[in-house]
Structure formats: structure tokens, C-alpha cells
Amino acid sequence: MTTHTTSPEVAATGKMPTHRVLSYALGDVANNLSFLMTSMFLMVFMTEIAGVSAGIAGTIYGVTKIWAGISDLLAGQTVDRADTRWGRLRPWILFGSTPLAVFFVLLFSTPAGLSPTMTVAWILLFDAAYQLMYSFVNIPYGSLSAAMTQDPVDRSKLSGARSIASSVTGVILSFFVAPQFQDTTSDNVRLKFTLSCLALGVIAVVLYLICFANSREVVPRSRGQISFRSTFRMIGKNKPLLILCLGAFFLLAAMFTMNAVAMYYAIYVLGNAGWFAYLMLAQTVGTILIASLVPAITIRLGKRDGYVLSAVLAVLGYAVILFLPSGNLPIAIVAWFLLGLGTGGTNALMFSMQADTVDYGEWKTGVRAEGGSYSILSFIRKVGQGIGGWAGMAVIGAFGYVAQAPDQSADALQGIRYATGLVPAALAIVALLVMLMYPLGAELHARVVAELNERRTQSAVAGAKGVPEERVQVPTVGDGRTTLLRKVAEGHPPIVTVFGLRGSGATDIAPLIAEKLGVPYIGQRFSSAELATVDRSAFISDSGIERWMRAVSLTGSQDTDLAFASNLSANHKIAQNNTREVLSAVENGGVILGRNGALVLGRVVGAVHVRLVAPLGKRVERVMHQTGLSASQATEQIENEDRIRAEMSRALYQWDPNADEDYDLVVNTGSMTYEQVAAMVVGLYASKYPDARP
């Protein structure tokens, strides 16, 4: 079902066109043609082609990765200041893509005959310039999905398409580039690399232009910079975020220690540079598989234990790499598949846990800092990448690896094994142990979300009435109600929130309740009755493939930090708009259907919250009667609508509207008439609030 937000400026235009989703994904293909080249092959290029020693190559990599983290912070503070006829974000893609490609090509075009010092200076200079330009293209690109739509489902599709494109790009790139390292002593090897990178750069620019031409910034973006002072104040009191950042540092250090020397492993331990592509394919398959299972893992194990389990799989993968027999491709594929499972799972859960820490920080300090906290996490990740890359090269250098040597000593080969297996395993174990101290479990997060929403409701009421927030608060009593919409002396009008499964009769019962209570009825933004009267293809557009794309949206792409922060911030703003609308709608009482009313008005004095259910067979029968659909079509419609409404609530409020404990009354409408159900609700209201008047 195409999901429409409650924000008044969002038009009901249907799902985002497929060509726009694909065009956006091509932008990440363009990103990764250069980013993955530097991540996977720059080290080997520096030692095997440019002739730089392993230790110096690792130092260059470490310095420029840390610089990349600083560049991200600079870009995050700068990009929103532009405001052109193309928007604030798209111009950076248009004008930054060509310089980015130029610096990328120059980085892999170190001239022969330069002195060792000049060779190092060349690579360091152009790698730093490349990282700077990459930040000024990737940061706007990552933020663009939140500017293209306010529909959380569409934004998830954009992120999912981006991640799939990134994963596929990595595999294709490895098949294209890795075999070129099989013989780096051949004639014109530098020219071949320059031409290869030139072709990749041209392709990247073309893809960037397609992304620019087909994307649109339709969501107004508020100006404003991240306040790092308030962010750091929040971080100091946010133990879950501190632990998550520390775990991320060691996890990324493990991953990039291995990444730095993976090509050396393929060349010297497996004996075939071209086999690296098969390793990348196996890792990608593992990453996508675990990402598809992360929602189920989260439900069964919780986020922290799911993270720990994923880290254990990564450690197993590193252990297999350490002891793998030389030249054994099948076992190597198994090892890299385990790595895909482990690193894919930890990355996906890391971002999900990060969203929880943003809520925790706001709950603890009153400061909500999506952009600031994600900038900090991104910087920590980049530092971990840099330290990891440096460590990997330092290890093989210490064990006697010699750049451009036709063969390596037994000690050097052992050093490559340690750098790809032992050291990453040790770092991953440290990350695992750190995350065992992560304190923000599901129960505490649910409490945080409930209290935050109560505060936001009270803040919205206080703002609308022009009074201090303490004026709208009362001491909690037995029913947990603590928020006033009116002065105590004025009394409170009847307020009933209703949430119902498709086919439970909610759209018929809620107006009956309103009529009996003598208050207005406020329907859903898109009611079930409205959806049932249009062509199915207009609203049942959320396929299994699209749901799967959303599940993998945080694993395939290397730089999803700010994109995820932008989407989280956009969802929060939509939720704020919905909260204000709900409060305004029930100011004089009312029966409100959907709109997350049971959460927004959860602790409002004078409110009763009702959830309507019915057996599936009965609901199918009712939908068939209402719409004329067949049984299978009605079942599909019910499943889609119920799932999407629940997903919307989770995206906007981190709340499950089907949790019975959030309602005063849960009614099975399958064995009663609608009139009887309405009378039951009115009777409950009258007994709970006998003094309430419309």
C-alpha cells in the first residue's frame, strides 16, 4: 500500500516512480565506482604498482581515512547553505562529480620515475583531495532521499535500492579490477590502470548526471547547523551511544584491517588475484542474506544479542581465513560468506541501535541530535577504518612483506594470514565484549519512547495554549493519565481513540461512538473505505521485493550514516506534525480513528483508547462484501493494509499499534454488531469519566 503521511503539505500522489528510484540508486553506483576502488585496491596499487612500502602505504591510508571523517563533518556543516533553482543538495552532485572523478583518476595515475618522496606526496595529496570531494558529493547524495519524499516507505525504497546497487557494484568492480593484479610487472601496467580508472570516472560522472536529472527536492529543508556543543553535552550523558561508538570503532577496525590486505591474501595465499572477485561475491551474498533476516533476529533475540551473534559469525570467518589451506578457493568462499553474515548483521543492527540512542539522548538530556550523533558515529567509523587499514599494512610490513617482489617469504605469508585473520578476529572480539555492556534493551527503549511521546504531547499543548509545560501536567493516578488539554476547572470533553485491523469494522464503529458521545468524528488520513473504492494497483504497491529492499537498506552501502540520520529526522518531523494535528482535532473532544492517536493521546486525561480486532475469516468476509473482491484478493488487501499501517507507526513513532497493553479496551467485533460495540465503548467511557461533557 502506498503510505501517505499526515503532514498537510504531502500530496496523495501515489508511489514514487520506478525510474526515480533507479536513478537515485545509480548515484550510489557512481559513488562506489571510486569509493570501493580506493577501499579494495588502493593499498595494493600503492605497493605493487607505485612501489610504496607497506608501512608507508598503511600510514597514508590511515591519515586520509581520518581526514575523510573530518571532511564529512565539514561537508555536513556546509552543503545546506546553498540554495539554487535546483535545490540545496542536487547542485553538489552536478558540480562536484567532475572534480571528484578527476582527483580519483589522478590518484591511480602516479607517474613512473618519481622519487619515493614525490610518489608518497602525489598519492597523499590526491587521496586527500579525493576524500574531500567525495564528502561534498556523498553527504548531499545521502541526504537527498529525505528531500525527495516525506513518505517513509518511499524513502526506505530509495535506501534499499541504493544499498543493492552498492553491493552489485562491488562485485562487478572486483571481477573487472582484481585480475589486473595477477601480474603487476607487465609492460604499461600503470597506463592500463590509468585508462581503467578514466573509464570508471567517465561512467561515474554520467551516472551522477542521470541521478541529478531525475531526482527532485520536493520536501522543504529547514536551514540550520548541527550544534556540536549540545551534541557533545548529550553524548556525555548517553551511555548507550558511547558504548555503540566504541563498539563501532573496533568493529570497523577489524573489517578494514582485513580489507586492507584481502587482495594480498588472494594473490599470495590463494595464488590467484582473480579469485578475489568470488570472495567478494560470497561476502555480498552473506551480507544480503543476513540483512533479510535482521527483522526476525531483532524480534527473537533483541538488537544487542543479535549484534553479538553477528559478531561471533564474523570472528568465525576470520578464524577460517587464518587457518585456511593455501590455494583452497571453496573454503575461502565459505570464510568470506561468514564474514558477510557477520559484518552485514552488525552493520544493520548498529544503525538500528543508533536510532534508539537518539531517543535515549533526547529522553536523558532534552537534546535530540540525529545529525550530530550520526556525524559523531560516522567520524568514529572513519577513524576505525583508518586505524584498521594502517594496522593491516603494519602487520604485513613487520613480517617482511616486500613491495613488488615476485615471491614473498614464509614469514611474510604468515603476516598476511595474521592481518586478514588473527588481528581482525581479536578486534571483533573486543567489539563483541564492548557491546555486551550495551544497556538499552527493548523494555527500556519502550519506556523511553512512551515518556518521550508524553513530553512531546505536553509540549505541543503548552505551545498551543501559551502556557508553561508544567501547567498541562497533573500527578499520575491509577490510570496513568498525566496530561491536561484544558484547565481543570473547565472539565474535559470526551476523547476516544480507535485503531482497528482492516475488516474489524473500525470505520463504521468509530462514527457511531462519536454520535453517541456527541463529539466530532475524525477519520484516518486514508481510511479503509477510501482505499477499498480505488483500483488495487493504485495502493497495493508495496511488494515483497520492496519490503526486502528496505530490509537491506543499511548493509550494502559504505556510507549510510547521514542518509539514515536524514530519514530519521524527516520521520520525526512528520510525527511532530501529526501530533499537532491530532491535538488540534480533539481540542473540543472527538473520536479519532488511527493517526497514532492511542500513542499521542495515551496519557491525556479524559481519553479512552480502543483497539478493534476480529478473526481473519470474518474480516475477509466483510471486505469481500464491501469491495466485491475475491477471498484471495481481500486477504491480500487486509495483510497489506495492516502491515503498512503498523510499519508507518514504527517508522514515525517507534511504536507498535497492535500492542494490546497500550489500549484500555480491546474488542473482538467478530461476534457482536457494530451497534453493540459502540454501546460498549460509550458505556466504558461513561463509567470511567462520568463528569465528562462534550
User: In the predicted model, what is the mean pLDDT of the chain?
Assistant: 82
Residue 687 has what pLDDT? 87
- The yes-or-no verdict on residue 465 having pLDDT over 70 is no
The Cα 72–Cα 35 span in angstroms is: 14
Grid cell listed for 227: 550544534
Q: How far is CA 610 from CA 323, 458, 667, in A?
A: 60, 22, 8
Name the percent of the chain lying above pLDDT 90: 35
Cβ count within 10 A of residue 567:
24
- The yes-or-no verdict on residue 541 having pLDDT over 80 is no
Average pLDDT for residues 681-685, to the nearest whole number? 90
Residue 388 has what pLDDT? 92
The Cα 418–Cα 398 span in angstroms is: 11
Residue 25 has what pLDDT? 86
Q: Which of 30-39, 528-537, 559-568, 683-692 has the highest mean pLDDT?
A: 30-39
Grid cell listed for 200: 570508471
Grid cell listed for 206: 554520467
For 439, phi then psi, to 5°, come to -95, -5
E strand or H helix at 591, and its extent? strand 590-593
pLDDT tier at 231, thresholds 50, 70, 90: low
DSSP per position, 84-125: BTTBSSHHHHHHHHHHHHHHHHHHT-PPTT--HHHHHHHHHH
Cβ distance 268 to 413 under 8 Å? yes
Least confident of 109-123, 233-247, 357-371: 357-371
Question: Structure pTM?
Answer: 0.77
Q: How far is CA 385 from CA 64, 67, 199, 423, 520, in A?
A: 10, 11, 27, 14, 57
Cβ distance 583 to 460 under 8 Å? yes
Average pLDDT for residues 577-604, to the nearest whole number? 85
The Cα 105–Cα 128 span in angstroms is: 13
User: What single letter denotes the amino acid at residue 302?
Assistant: G
Average pLDDT for residues 373-387, to the nearest whole number? 83
- How many residues are given for the chain? 694
The Cα 370–Cα 471 span in angstroms is: 29
Grid cell listed for 279: 570472495
E strand or H helix at 159, and its extent? helix 152-177
Task: Write the DSSP symbol of residue 650.
Answer: H
Cβ distance 65 to 382 under 8 Å? yes
What digits encode the pLDDT tens for the residues 473-513? 777 666 677 777 777 666 778 889 999 999 899 888 999 99
Cβ distance 502 to 634 under 8 Å? no
Domains assigned to the chain: 17-150+185-214 (1.20.1250), 228-440 (1.20.1250.20), 446-688 (3.40.50.300)
The Cα 616–Cα 638 span in angstroms is: 9
Least confident of 80-84, 282-286, 388-392, 440-444: 80-84
Q: Which long-range contacts (CB under 8 A, 24 or more apart) does 175-179 make?
A: 175/277, 177/37, 177/40, 177/41, 178/41, 178/263, 178/266, 178/273, 178/274, 178/275, 178/276, 178/277, 179/273, 179/274, 179/277
- The yes-or-no verdict on residue 14 having pLDDT over 60 is no
Question: Cell 582484481 belongs to which residue?
Answer: 178
Residue 275 has what pLDDT? 93
DSSP per position, 259-312: HHHHHHIIIIIIS-GGGHHHHHHHHHHHHHHHHHHHHHHHHHH-HHHHHHHHHH
Cβ distance 324 to 413 under 8 Å? no
Q: Which residues contact 234 (CB under 8 A, 6 or more apart)?
A: 361, 362, 364, 365, 367, 369, 372, 373
Residue 478 has what pLDDT? 63
Name the percent of the chain lying above pLDDT 70: 84
Residues facing 198 on adjacent strands: none
| Higher-pLDDT residue of 428, 193 | 428
| Higher-pLDDT residue of 691, 283 | 283
Grid cell listed for 684: 466504558
DSSP per position, 418-484: IIIIIHHHHHHHHHHHHHTT----HHHHHHHHHHHHHHHHHHHHHHHHTS-GGGGB----TT---B-
pLDDT tier at 643, thresholds 50, 70, 90: confident
What digits encode the pLDDT tens for the residues 420-463? 999 999 999 999 999 999 998 878 888 887 888 787 787 777 77
Cβ count within 10 A of residue 354:
23
The Cα 204–Cα 91 span in angstroms is: 16
pLDDT tier at 19, thresholds 50, 70, 90: confident
The Cα 573–Cα 32 span in angstroms is: 31
